[in-house]
Amino acid sequence: MAVVTDAIYDPESEAHPDWDASQDELAARAVKYGNERTREVYKRLRGVGVWAEDIEGVADLAAIPVLEKDDVPALQAARPPFGGMLSLRAGTLKRIFRSPGPINDPQGQDEDFWRVAPAAWAAGFRDGDVVLNSFSYHLTPGGLMLDAGLRKLGCTVIPGGVGNSAAQVEAACAAGATGYTGTPQFLLTLFERARDMGHELPIRRALVTGAPLPPPLRARLQDEVGVDVYQSYGTADAGTLGYECGEKNGWHVAPGIVIELLAPGDDRPAGEGETGQVVVTSPNGIYPLVRFGTGDLSAWNPEPCRCGRTSRRLVGFMGRVGEGVKVRGMFVHPRELAGALDGDPMVARYQAVVTEGAGGGDMFTVRVEAAPGCGLGDEEVAALVARIREAVKVRPVVEVVGVGEIGEEAGVVVDGRG
């Protein structure tokens, strides 16, 4: 039995004794809402002859085609402003945002419409904290997403917005802000700016999102700057999708939504350790989403978490769907390759090239430039082959190349077929 501690905001959902069953219930409810309340889901179900009452759980969702995020702008343009995805009149919303795409995003009347509070709670934010929020408050919802979640917890927010680092440092120092929400890079920028200004920035805790947090940046923020950093993950359409707990080893699926990981290309559930598109199903009362393809890639972390939450974890962000190149039926993504080769002191540069082999099959070659002073012999090459195969699920030929043979501009995964 999981131990529920006060580090968990919503034990009923986050530490549900049968988490898979709770996902089934959410999936069925989302399809029911969508079918009853929105033209888009109704039409998509009718298109494949599926009845809402036939959807009893996550596995049944497979009968419904995925709505790709890339298809939403055309849907909205044909039927403005929300493409038949909103269950009520646009004029009854709290706000309407415009995200890159372009995509119109609704904000309903709920206090924490994007469900940010559990993520901020997991990051240690509590009633009475003063938090500098450095996401944009204009047109895109990032600023107000975080703002709403922090306010729900009783935090006081400084609406810093984007840029103006000197003014943000002044504001945070003057108010004694101990918390930060924003991108991880901008947090580092603020500390550097504060140092230049001769100020002591009091921020000690951060919830970062909207940009990658590479391990060296995290180490710098935590070990050198002294900020306890947590990541969350979400989109303007679907709100919070995942967040880190104290273990900081993957993103727990956020309460109130269903996440599937589907193999790009054929939309079957991604297997153990396999990369898949993050596909969201959300029983939101006004903007229900049924199999909404975010275009983001991740994989499941199969280990149960020690924090007490029973919700599954995603390993983190592994790139965007379009970045992958299909090799022998498997998509190979730059980030998977990076996972196998980045940080290897013997490897200076690398590039995967897919070509047509003599027999018509795919040739998957990873060209590797050795780091200065390192010789890559047969033994080292065999180890690289094994590691790359483990990471991308395709066996490569590793070719050691000379200095400068991999161009500065070259892509990490290059499709040289046809």
Structure tokens given for 210? 């909207």
Instruction: CB nearer to Zn ion: give 45 or 307.
Output: 307
> Which residues are at the interface with Zn ion (CB under 5 A)?
245, 247, 305, 307, 309
Shortest Å distance, C-beta 245 to Zn ion:
3
Instruction: CB nearer to Zn ion: give 69 or 312.
Output: 312
d(C-alpha 166, C-alpha 402), whole Å: 46
Helix/strand/coil percentages in the chain, nearest 5: 30, 25, 45
Shortest Å distance, C-beta 218 to Zn ion:
17
Instruction: CB nearer to Zn ion: give 30 or 307.
Output: 307
Handedness of CA 262, 267, 271, 274 (dihedral sign): negative
Instruction: CB nearer to Zn ion: give 193 or 309.
Output: 309
What 161-169 contacts at long range (C-beta under 8 Å, 24+ apart), as own/partner pairs, is: 161/134, 161/135, 161/136, 161/137, 162/134, 162/135, 162/136, 165/189, 165/190, 165/193, 166/193, 166/197, 168/132, 168/134, 169/193, 169/194, 169/197, 169/199, 169/201
Shortest Å distance, C-beta 91 to Zn ion:
41
Instruction: CB nearer to Zn ion: give 234 or 288.
Output: 234
Residues 6+ apart with CB under 8 A from 340: 384, 387, 388, 390, 391, 392
Shortest Å distance, C-beta 118 to Zn ion:
12
- Measured between alpha carbons, how far is residue 398 from residues 84, 336, 337 in Å? 50, 16, 12
Shortest Å distance, C-beta 117 to Zn ion:
17
Shortest Å distance, C-beta 307 to Zn ion:
3
Q: Which residue(s) pair with 306 in the sheet?
A: none
Residue 160 in contact with residue 168, Cβ under 8 Å? yes
Residue 401 in contact with residue 367, Cβ under 8 Å? yes
**Sheet containing 276-282: which strands, arranged edge to edge?**
67-68, 289-298, 276-282, 258-262
Shortest Å distance, C-beta 309 to Zn ion:
5
Structure tokens given for 271? 């297997």
d(C-alpha 176, C-alpha 169), whole Å: 10
Shortest Å distance, C-beta 233 to Zn ion:
14
Amino acid at 87: S
Shortest Å distance, C-beta 123 to Zn ion:
12
Shortest Å distance, C-beta 246 to Zn ion:
7
Instruction: CB nearer to Zn ion: give 61 or 307.
Output: 307
Q: Which residue(s) pair with 366 in the sheet?
A: 352, 398
Instruction: CB nearer to Zn ion: give 218 or 320.
Output: 218
d(C-alpha 359, C-alpha 357), whole Å: 5
Structure tokens given for 338? 């990076």
Instruction: CB nearer to Zn ion: give 3 or 358.
Output: 3
Shortest Å distance, C-beta 249 to Zn ion:
8
Residue 369 in contact with residue 403, Cβ under 8 Å? yes
Instruction: CB nearer to Zn ion: give 17 or 102.
Output: 17
Instruction: CB nearer to Zn ion: give 222 or 249.
Output: 249
Instruction: CB nearer to Zn ion: give 113 or 230.
Output: 230
